[in-house]
């Protein structure tokens, strides 16, 4: 109808269109405002105790990684698959045994784009995309997470990966676990 009016009287069609779109915008605003008055509506922090407790995410969510130092064999497959080269793996040979011991497993989250390409090639399934969706920090150093220095529970995603845990991991001088070659290395 507005189109027909616009054809005959363009000025009138423009006025009708302007008034109706403004009225529609005001109606949306009013509807949202009324919703905020409902007593059952709660603030985000009342529903989720974030960051103390993680916020539920969908099953295939790609958040900050989960990494299991106890099974990683330092094969470099994940680092080679990473398109932005943001996985840095330190390793050393284990005397009297096959394979390597992980001496560092750092991911630079200022570069990571959460593509999950590092997860697929892992032969021992020790790296996954996790459920954490943010990691606030004041410096770039805070974006460098060395999973080999984090407590195993945090690295594996049983406890929240948080800035405090990352900060404390910077004080740890050796990996918290010897990896699958632990017995042979000791």
CB of 130 to ligand SF4, least distance (A): 11
- Region of 23-31, 46-54, 123-131, 140-148 interacting with ligand SF4 (CB under 6 A): 123-131
- Region of 22-30, 31-39, 111-119, 162-170 interacting with ligand SF4 (CB under 6 A): 111-119
Exactly one of 114, 153, 164, 167 binds ligand SF4 (CB under 6 A); that residue is 114
Exactly one of 124, 134, 141, 167 binds ligand SF4 (CB under 6 A); that residue is 124
Please report whether residue 131 would count as binding ligand SF4 according to CB under 6 A: no
Exactly one of 2, 113, 172, 174 binds ligand SF4 (CB under 6 A); that residue is 113
Exactly one of 63, 64, 66, 89 binds ligand SF4 (CB under 6 A); that residue is 89
Name the one residue in this structure whose structure tokens are 């405002």. 33
SS (H, E, C) the chain: CHHHHHHHCHHHHHHHHHHHHHHHHHHHHHHHHHHHCCCCCCCHHHHCCCCCCCCCCCCCCCEEEEECCCCCCCCCHHHHHCCCCCEEEEEEECCCCCCEEEEEEEEECCCCCCCCCCCCCCCCCCEEEECCCCCCCCCHHHHEEECCCCCHHHHCCCCCCCHHHHHHHCCCCCCCCCHHHHHHHC
Exactly one of 94, 107, 145, 150 binds ligand SF4 (CB under 6 A); that residue is 107
Q: How far is CA 150 from the centre of its chain?
A: 16
Judged by CB, which is closer to ligand SF4: 49, or 92? 92
In the complex, which residues of this chain contact ligand SF4 (CB under 6 A)? 72-78, 81-82, 84, 86-87, 89, 107, 112-118, 121-122, 124, 126-127
């Amino acid at each position: 109808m507005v189109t027909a009016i616009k054809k005959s009287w363009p000025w009138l069609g423009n006025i009708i269109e302007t008034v109706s779109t403004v009225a529609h915008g005001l109606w949306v605003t009013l509807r949202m405002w009324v919703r905020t008055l409902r007593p059952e509506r709660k603030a985000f922090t009342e529903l989720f105790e974030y960051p103390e407790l993680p916020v539920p995410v969908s099953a295939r969510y790609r958040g900050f990684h989960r990494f299991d130092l106890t099974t990683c064999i330092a094969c470099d497959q994940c680092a080679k698959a990473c398109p932005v080269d943001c996985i840095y793996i330190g390793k050393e040979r284990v005397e009297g045994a096959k394979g390597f011991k992980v001496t560092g497993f750092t991911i630079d989250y200022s570069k990571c784009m959460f593509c999950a390409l590092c997860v697929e090639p892992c032969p021992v399934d020790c790296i996954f995309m996790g459920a954490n969706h943010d990691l606030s920090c004041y410096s770039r150093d805070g974006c460098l997470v060395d999973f080999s220095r984090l407590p195993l529970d945090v690295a594996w995603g049983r406890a929240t990966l948080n800035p405090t845990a990352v900060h404390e991991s910077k004080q740890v001088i050796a990996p918290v676990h010897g990896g699958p070659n632990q017995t042979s290395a000791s």
